[in-house]
Amino acid sequence: MHIHILGICGTFMGGLAVLAKEAGHRVTGCDANVYPPMSTQLEAQGIELIQGFGPEQVDLKPDLYVIGNVVSRGNPLIEEIMNRNLPMISGPQWIGDHILKDKWVLSVAGTHGKTTTSAMLAWILEYAGYAPGFLIGGIPQNFGISARLSGPGANSAFFVIEADEYDTAFFDKRSKFVHYHSKTAILNNLEYDHADIFPDIGAIETQFHHLVRTVPGIGRVIANADEASLQRVLQRGCWSEKETFGSAPGADWRMLEHADGSFDVIFQGQQAATIGWQLTGKHNRSNALAAIAAARHVGVPIGTAAQALASFQSVKRRMEVRGTVNGVTVYDDFAHHPTAIETTVGGLRQKLRASGGAGRILAVLEPRSNTMKLGTMKDALPGSLKEADLVFGFGSEKALGWKLGEALSPMGEIASAYDDLDVMVQAIVAAARPGDQVVVMSNGGFGGVHQKLLEALK
């Protein structure tokens, strides 16, 4: 089959393209911005890319058009496809029908931690010899790729997928994850996000309820017991096996944390394993509990999962060290929601305290997600950054629609806002001193600020 993918350079659609090519289909695609690194990765797979959405692309005569959710009515290619009544399908539905249909699907849903938890789960299954397929919204460093059908030379029955609650396509406003045929479903957490498409948290809870409805009776829902929102979701009905994790009374999976960052895994009141690793933050320990629980559902012993996580290398752009110059370390992190910002900075603070408390945290933030641009979360920013010693915010009022400096003003003199990237870089370099940890947080490229900082620090 020849499929032509609209919006191919997005993380999800790019992963879909790789899977389709690996499955033996001819794959072409287009996007508004065809540029590295995604364009390079796709072209290396032999996938032809076209810049823009010109209606003449129908002359390619593919068997099917696969539509990404970045594409909307008014798009010239979409209008041509619809006017000619040509066959089209959403990306999530194509994945569900053509890749996941006969697999044991382990999906990871939640406002935060989907990518890291999916990567942990895929690595546990790999370590245990299951050779899983996966589609993850980042690049797990243990694998070096974001998507594959199965392990090399294998035809695995298992597939791990990051299950996004964002809408499917302009013609299907259900969340992507309802298409995935999940047999094991992790519900990691649930907060208000995606203010551009959801009016309130109740609307997101409804979508999570729809996900729970798709899990078969022999399947298993693994839910965070500490999240009131998820308890409300499950109270609306759950027809599958259920396990819980967290610190709430009665949770099946709990943890006993140690000062050095290691922790004991407690399952139904009994110590089952101890995990020692390099990751920071309680959120990552919680992610690990969820991944261990999901792996156990497909037969991986808890001790084996713990051994796998000891060699887990996290995901690119999740507290990824980009370099150290003159004693100043620069990290890259994807955090863009206040809760994610708080857990990122708080996790690093905990690590510094455990190692003696030396070093300051310089938080560098670009609020560029749709939710942040709408100003929905701006008042939560000062609280989310409370563990930072200095805060540098980047974003113009024109780009954001609100004043970043005003939002950060409750933090006083430790926080400053900029709309010129080079000026901000110079300010950070002037403030930095040996031992400092510079945490750069954005869900975009941030103008290459990481490299700019490392070069300026020299």
Q: Which fold has domain 100-310?
A: UDP-N-acetylmuramoyl-L-alanine:D-glutamate ligase (3.40.1190)
Q: Where are the domains of the chain?
A: 2-91, 100-310, 320-457
Q: What is the mean pLDDT of residues 406-431?
A: 94
Residue-wise pLDDT for 382-404, tens only, equals 999 999 999 999 988 888 888 99
Of the candidate CATH numbers 3.90.190.20, 3.30.70.2740, 3.40.50.620, 3.40.50.450, the domain formed by 320-457 belongs to: 3.90.190.20
Nearest to 70 by CA among 157, 133, 6, 119: 6
> Which burial class, exposed, middle or buried, applies to 126 when counting CB atoms under 10 A from its CB (0-12, 13-18, 19+)?
buried
124-140: per-residue pLDDT in tens? 999 999 999 999 988 88
pLDDT band at 277 (very low <50, low <70, confident <90, very high): confident
Model confidence at 335, in pLDDT bands (50, 70, 90)?
confident
CA-closest candidate to residue 19, choices 42, 48, 52: 42
Q: Please give the structure tokens belonging to residue 247.
A: 């610190």
pLDDT of residue 359: 83
CATH number of 2-91: 3.40.50.720
pLDDT band, residue 96 (cuts 50/70/90): very high
348 vs 53, more confident: 53
pLDDT for residue 221 is more than 70? yes
374 vs 297, residue with greater confidence: 297
Per-residue model confidence (pLDDT) at position 339: 80
The C-alpha atoms of residue 256 and residue 185 are separated, in whole angstroms, by 24
- Give 128-140 as a DSSP string: TT---EEE-SS-B
Count each helix (H run) and each strand (E run) in the chain, helices first.
Answer: 16, 23
Phi-psi bin for 125: left (phi > 0), alpha (psi -120 to 50), beta?
alpha
User: What's the chain's average pLDDT?
Assistant: 91
Identify the burial level of 141 via C-beta atoms within 10 angstroms of its C-beta, where 0-12 means exposed, 13-18 middle and 19 or more buried: middle
Residue 357 has pLDDT above 70, yes or no: no
Pick the residue with more confidence: 11 or 363?
363
Give the per-residue pLDDT at 99: 95
Strand partners, 407: none
pTM attached to this predicted model = 0.78
More confident residue, 196 or 51: 51
pLDDT of residue 36: 67
Distance from the Cα of residue 115 to its chain's centroid: 4
Q: How many Å apart are CA 378 and CA 371, to the nearest integer?
A: 9
The alpha carbon dihedral of 41, 47, 51, 52 has a sign of negative
Instruction: Name the percent of the chain lying above pLDDT 70.
Output: 98
The angle that helices 282-297 and 302-310 make with each other, rounded to 10 degrees, is: 140
Check pLDDT > 80 for residue 192: no
User: How sure is the predictor about 372, in pLDDT bands with cuts at 50, 70 and 90?
Assistant: confident
